[in-house]
Amino acid sequence: LSEHWKSIKEYMHPEKLSKAEAARSFLSFIQNIRRATKEEILQIVKSENKELLPQIVDAITSAQTPASLEAILEFLDFKDASTSVLQERFLYACGFASHPSEMLLKTLISKFKGDIANEEIRETLLVVMGALIRKLCDREGCKLPAVVEAKKLILGRLEKPKKDDNVRMYLLALKNALLPEAIPLLLKYVESEEGHISNTAVTALQRYDPSFFTNEVKKTMNRIYHQNRKVHEKTVRTTAAAIILNSNPSYMEVKNILLSIGELPLEMNKYMLSIIQDILQLEKPSSKTIRKVLKDMRAHNYERFAKPGSSSAYSGYITRGPDISSTYSLDILYSGSGILRRSNLNIHVFDKNAQLHAGQVVIEAQGLESIIAATPDEGEENLDSFAGTSAILFDIQLRPVTFFQGYGDLMSKMLSATGDPMSVVKGLILLTDYSQEFQLQSGPRASADFQGGLAIDISGGMEFSLWYRESKTNVKNRIAMFVAGNAEVDSFFLKTGMETTLETETALDFISTVQFSQYPFLVCMQMDRVGSPFRHSLTKYESLPSGRRYTARRGKAEILEGCEYPLHQENSNMCRKVFSTASDSSSSWF
């Protein structure tokens, strides 16, 4: 194991994690760790420098053998705050585990009940426990003792929270666990709480399959959107509307939403119009009902559909084919004073039988109106100043990252801001891990092995300038992927098989620029992909008992051209204005 590590360690440095060679080395390292003893693993992890340790922890945890789990648990000390980076990488690798065991969940429960020096690690631990509950339940393991104990721990704390409990942390765990029995609890928190709590609860509900939604869920979402009982924040109301529109809405539900447009706060009017137009443009399931409602002139008229504003929502295809399709969606919501309230980037992958929420990066801000002496929107007068980001990666909610919390923290961050992005997630992930051997009906044995690795670096940043009355958010996604597969048939007189490899590197940037020196604000959204190398090789081989071997190889290497993904025409027009304003101001004396 140590010899193999020496041969690949140069590719595992943090600055090389966006290269395909890092993902390839990660997979080969996992294969060697699976054959190693606990002592051999500890020898490497105790002798390496701090720069390489996070990548080693990723690989050891992803190996998922009893020896590797024992070794990493002996090495990590959760009572030591100085190793919190390694603890977080270990926990996320557990969350992405391809074959999670009850023993792994039992270990995490034990750690959660013990002493943990860093509170953020405690939050991450609980969020990962939620992910493992869902994975084990998907494998018909919902009644395993460890799963029952973990569910009781999370649901019990939410049903009877203590004074010092971090309620949002338990809601994030439910956002990963997606337990059907938790829906009534989430409804209670959405309707009765405010700020982060209600927002986290409603976004957790949004992740459930609509088949779980009863009439009570729909009634509650309608009450929240139309504010029948109390005033709610825009972010909560718009998410409630999205849940209604994605859950086979009735004619009257759609009609009531369309009739509300025009009576909403300015930016929310524009946002809801964009949501409706996006559903129609992409022909989503509720589009037929919306078209029926639009035949009524009371719902579909110039007064409603010509509302000004800068908020928007748009979806499009990254790729579209007979076997697999991938979509992206960008939506951005502003406060009435022109400050970003929420920007949301989503990527989904679909095939004929399933779908995967491949990625989501959300940047949220609230309570910033006092900086520019603006009036907060209805229902948001008492919100603390806050900005942060959260991510979903391969259907797993990660722990949110806070940029600042409170007015004092905001001012100190503004004065010391460098504009550098803050890391949301960085590491190596075992993407797919499949191995099977079986006997063919005609006698020979066949085997299939597939492994895929991902090196990923997602960061987000927010810049705010009072002088230029401009804000900018930037989400950077750097990804490298390597997949290797082998299929083989072994008979008594002939062995034949195919090996294939695929590797690529890419980067996706989402940039949002807002100039709020006038109304309506100038808003420009950009979604760029840089040129990406793509390499694919295929090897066919046959071997005879005599030792003779026949091999045929072919491969392809190309550069996939970079592009800027198209958004709606209104955004293109706005970007021209933003950049022409920027160039004018740069050439001016003042």
Residue 327's DSSP bridge partners are 317, 348
pLDDT at 587: 43
Residue 532, Ramachandran bin (φ over 0: left; ψ between -120 and 50: alpha; else beta): beta
Instruction: Annotate 492-502 with b (16+ C-beta within 10 A) or e (fewer).
Output: eeebebebbbb
pLDDT at 436: 93
Predicted confidence pLDDT, tens digits, the chain (590 residues): 889 999 998 888 888 888 889 999 999 999 999 999 999 999 999 888 888 999 999 999 999 999 999 999 999 989 988 888 999 999 999 999 989 999 999 999 999 998 888 889 999 999 999 999 999 999 888 899 999 999 999 999 888 877 666 888 999 999 999 999 999 999 999 988 877 888 899 999 999 999 899 999 999 999 999 988 888 888 899 999 999 999 989 999 999 999 998 888 888 888 999 999 889 988 888 899 999 998 888 888 877 777 777 788 888 888 888 888 898 888 888 887 777 788 888 999 988 888 889 888 888 887 766 666 667 777 666 677 777 888 898 899 998 887 777 767 666 655 555 556 667 677 899 988 999 998 888 888 999 999 999 988 877 777 777 677 777 778 788 889 999 999 999 887 888 999 999 999 988 888 888 777 766 677 788 888 888 899 999 999 998 888 788 999 999 999 988 888 877 777 788 888 888 765 555 444 33
pLDDT at 332: 86
pLDDT at 185: 93
Look up residue 492 and give its DSSP letter. S
Element (H, E) at 454: strand 445-465
pTM of the entire structure?
A: 0.85
Kindly state the tokens that stand for 237. 């109301």
Q: CB under 8 Å to 245, separation ≥6 — which residues? A: 254, 257, 275, 279, 286
Instruction: Please write down the long-range contacts of 557-563, taking CB distance under 8 Å and 24 or more positions apart.
Output: 557/533, 558/533, 558/534, 559/531, 559/532, 559/533, 559/534, 560/504, 560/506, 560/531, 560/532, 560/533, 560/534, 561/531, 562/528, 562/529, 562/530, 562/531, 562/532, 563/528, 563/529
pLDDT at 208: 92
Look up residue 142 and give its DSSP letter. T
pLDDT at 92: 92
Distance CA 230, CA 221 (A): 13
Distance CA 434, CA 571 (A): 44
Distance CA 418, CA 197 (A): 30
* All domains in the chain, ordered by first residue: 310-406 (2.20.50.20), 439-581 (no CATH)
Q: CB under 8 Å to 241, separation ≥6 — which residues? A: 221, 225, 257, 272, 275
* Cα dihedral value 276, 307, 310, 358, nearest 10: 0
Phi, psi for 17 (deg, rounded to 5)? -70, -10
Phi, psi for 18 (deg, rounded to 5)? -95, 10
Kindly state the tokens that stand for 15. 């600055």
pLDDT at 243: 94
> For the chain, what is the radius of gyration of the CA atoms?
26
